[in-house]
Amino acid sequence: MLRIFHTADWHLGHQLHGVSRHFEHQQFLNWLLDALESNEADALIVAGDIFDSANPPATAQAQLYDFLVNARTSLPGLSIILVGGNHDSASRLDAPSPILNALGVHVVGGLSRNEEGNIDWDRLLVPLTNSTGDIRAWCGAMPFLRNADLPTNIDESDPLISGMKSLYAELVDQLAQKAGQDSRMILTGHCYMVNGALSELSERKILGGNQHALPLELFPENIVYVALGHLHLAQHVGGKEHIRYSGSPIPMSFDESDYHHQVLQVDIKPNQAADVSVLKIPRSIDLLRIPNGKDFAVLPEVIQQLESLQLDDLPMDQRPMLELRIRLDKPEPSLRQQIEEAIAQLPIRLLKISTLNITMVFATSTSPQMQIRNRLSPSQ
């Protein structure tokens, strides 16, 4: 058997309205290391968006490398695969790859080509070994594909989709040659699949826009598991249990505060379907929204809910983060003052105030119409 952990979309270095997520990421990485050890994982796949930006802060880079060292020290036989996402700089990820490869960490930030312009497919083919050192699967470590990576000689109505199909078909062919008859085949992808549930506030449109959702036939039937990244909500694709988004380990926006964050444990056995188990990631810092959900409430109701909160007195960097969503039926000049008075004694961090202004607009026919305007305040 081969046991794989699938995770993605770490977004190390992320800030939520100017507030660092370093503590939350470190808590996740500590938990992940413990889970890898206690569940005796053979391999770890991180399917893109390791960093939140192409130029991550030094603290985020140090956080990644500290984790890799600790993981390889605790589990010397652990295979680690990192692929680039649309938030990552392919060249930045690939730069230390010779050193990381020597440590058992396989990095594919982006596609690389030889002097003739041909893709170096061998670099994307990674053997995965079990605890006894036997190869039990091969991974086709496909990174996020940018428009410049796609073939230019495809005459199709949608060259973007056709180009993706062409590259994945070539990768599967190369992978099958390596795997032979005895090893299972796994793929990675950082992309938007058909019918995927999207978080608009925190996921960038990719591959010419999310209207270019990729079809399931990208992945042939002989692939035992597909480890996907990009969508922050954990989900399987098209009813296929073996094609999965692991989701992000922490909420990247207040709209994601009710997501159930997880890492996927994937057991690969000979002649069987992949056995996928969900490992729930504990939430280290709460994201609170008043009122809950996407509704707005009048200021007195919001203040009443604030005053009813029961919160532990935690250090500043561990306190819950708060968004208020307030409906204004009339101008409220003292809005900020009333809110600050209500939270003055609460161990909480106010990050955002969203307001919904409602005014009556009369048409020339004298029939009233309701006009609703959303105004999001600057980061608080």
Which band of pLDDT confidence, cut at 50, 70 and 90, is reported for residue 296? very high
pLDDT of residue 46: 98
pLDDT at 131 over 90: no
> pTM score, two decimals?
0.90
Name all contacts of 200-207 with Cβ < 8 Å and 24+ positions apart. Answer: 200/255, 201/253, 201/255, 202/232, 202/252, 202/253, 202/255, 202/256, 203/230, 203/231, 203/232, 204/86, 204/87, 206/86, 206/144, 206/230, 207/145, 207/147, 207/160, 207/164
- Tell me the C-alpha distance between 243 and 224, whole Å: 9
Q: Mean pLDDT over all residues of the chain?
A: 88
Percent of the chain with pLDDT over 70: 88
pLDDT at 364 over 60: no
Residue 136 CB coordination number (10 Å): 22
Q: What is the pLDDT of residue 233?
A: 95
Average the pLDDT over 289-300 and give the result. Answer: 92
The stretch 329-338 carries a mean pLDDT of 88
Whether the pLDDT of residue 371 is over 90: the answer is: no
Residue 59 scores a pLDDT above 90: yes
Least Cα distance to 89 among 146, 138, 37, 39 occurs for 146
Q: What is the DSSP letter of 58?
A: H
User: Is the pLDDT at 351 greater than 70, yes or no?
Assistant: yes
Q: Report the pLDDT value the prediction gives residue 155, as an integer from 0 to 100.
A: 62
Per DSSP, 318 falls in state G
CA dihedral 164, 168, 171, 175 (to 10 degrees): 170
Least Cα distance to 188 among 220, 229, 135 occurs for: 229
For the cut 70, the answer to whether the pLDDT of residue 366 exceeds it is no
pLDDT band at 380 (very low <50, low <70, confident <90, very high): very low
Q: How many CB atoms lie within 10 A of CB 229?
A: 31
What is the phi-psi region of residue 224: left when phi exceeds 0, alpha when psi lies from -120 to 50, beta otherwise? alpha
Answer with the residue of higher pLDDT: 199 or 298. Answer: 298
**Could you give the domains of the chain?**
2-280 (3.60.21.10), 287-376 (3.30.160.720)
SS3 286: coil
pLDDT digits (tens, 9 = 90+) for 169-221: 999 999 999 988 778 999 999 999 987 666 655 555 454 444 468 889 999 99
Name the strand (E) or helix (H) holding 163.
Answer: helix 159-179
Residue carrying structure tokens 């100017």: 18
Instruction: Identify the pLDDT of residue 225.
Output: 98
Span of 34-43, 127-136, 157-166, 224-233 with lowest mean pLDDT:
157-166
Burial (CB < 10 A; 0-12, 13-18, 19+), residue 24, is buried
Q: Which of 10-19, 204-213, 294-303, 364-373 has the highest mean pLDDT?
A: 10-19
Q: Is 117 exposed, middle or buried (0-12, 13-18, 19+ CB in 10 A)?
A: exposed
Beta bridge partners of 191: none
CA atoms of 28 and 279, how far apart (whole Å): 12
Q: How far from 87 is each of 20, 29, 44, 149, 236, CA to CA, in Å?
A: 17, 19, 20, 16, 22
Confidence of residue 359 (pLDDT cuts 50, 70, 90): low
Residue 253 is predicted with a pLDDT of: 94
Which 3 state secondary structure label does DSSP give 340? helix
CA distance 47 to 203: 15
370 vs 319, residue with greater confidence:
319
Q: Give which of 155, 145, 42 is closest to 90, Cα–Cα.
A: 145
Give pLDDT, residue 151: 86
* CA 7, 224, 214, 278 torsion-angle sign: negative
Contact 323, 288 (CB under 8 A): yes
Q: Tally the C-alpha atoms within 13 A of residue 243's C-alpha that lie toward its C-beta.
A: 22
Find the mean pLDDT for residues 95-123: 92
pLDDT for res 162:
86
Residue 129 structure tokens: 């070994």
